[in-house]
C-alpha cells in the first residue's frame, strides 16, 4: 500500500510576534518564541505600572474616578493570570517532553 504525500495542503504562515501596545514597529520575520514572550512580559509590566499609578492617584486624591482605577486593576489581574497560565502550560509541555524521552 503506497502512502501519498500531503502536497495538497498549503503551507502554514508563521505567526507575527505580538508587539507591546503603543508600538508600531514591525518585528523581523522569524524572531521566535522568545521575542513573543518578551513582548507579553513587557505588556504585563506596563499594565501593572498603569494599575499602580491609577491606585496611587486614587489614594492621593488626584483622581476621583473609581471606575477607571478598578478597570486598570482588572486589566493588570487579567494580564497576570494570562502570564501565569502560559507558565503553567509551558511547564506541562516540558514535563510531557521529558516523559516521552524516558
Does 60 reside within a domain? Answer: yes
pLDDT tens track, the chain, 102 positions: 565 554 554 555 666 665 555 555 555 555 688 898 899 999 999 999 999 999 999 999 998 889 999 999 999 999 999 999 999 999 999 999 999 987
- In terms of C-beta density within 10 A (0-12 exposed, 13-18 middle, 19 or more buried), how is residue 10 classed? exposed
pLDDT of residue 32: 87
Does 87 reside within a domain? Answer: yes
Does 88 reside within a domain? Answer: yes
- Alpha helices (runs of H) in the chain, residue ranges in sequence order: 33-60, 66-101
Which residues form the domain of 83?
Answer: 33-101
Domain count, the chain: 1
pLDDT of residue 101: 83
pLDDT of residue 29: 57
Does 2 reside within a domain? Answer: no
Amino acid at each position: 500500500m503506497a502512502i501519498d504525500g500531503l502536497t495538497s495542503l498549503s503551507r502554514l504562515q508563521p505567526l507575527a510576534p505580538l508587539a507591546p501596545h503603543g508600538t508600531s514597529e514591525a518585528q523581523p520575520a522569524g524572531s521566535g518564541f522568545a521575542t513573543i514572550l518578551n513582548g507579553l512580559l513587557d505588556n504585563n509590566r506596563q499594565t501593572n505600572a498603569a494599575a499602580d499609578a491609577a491606585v496611587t492617584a486614587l489614594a492621593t486624591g488626584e483622581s476621583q474616578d473609581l471606575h477607571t482605577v478598578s478597570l486598570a486593576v482588572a486589566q493588570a489581574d487579567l494580564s497576570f493570570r494570562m502570564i501565569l497560565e502560559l507558565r503553567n502550560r509551558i511547564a506541562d509541555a516540558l514535563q510531557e517532553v521529558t516523559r516521552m524521552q524516558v
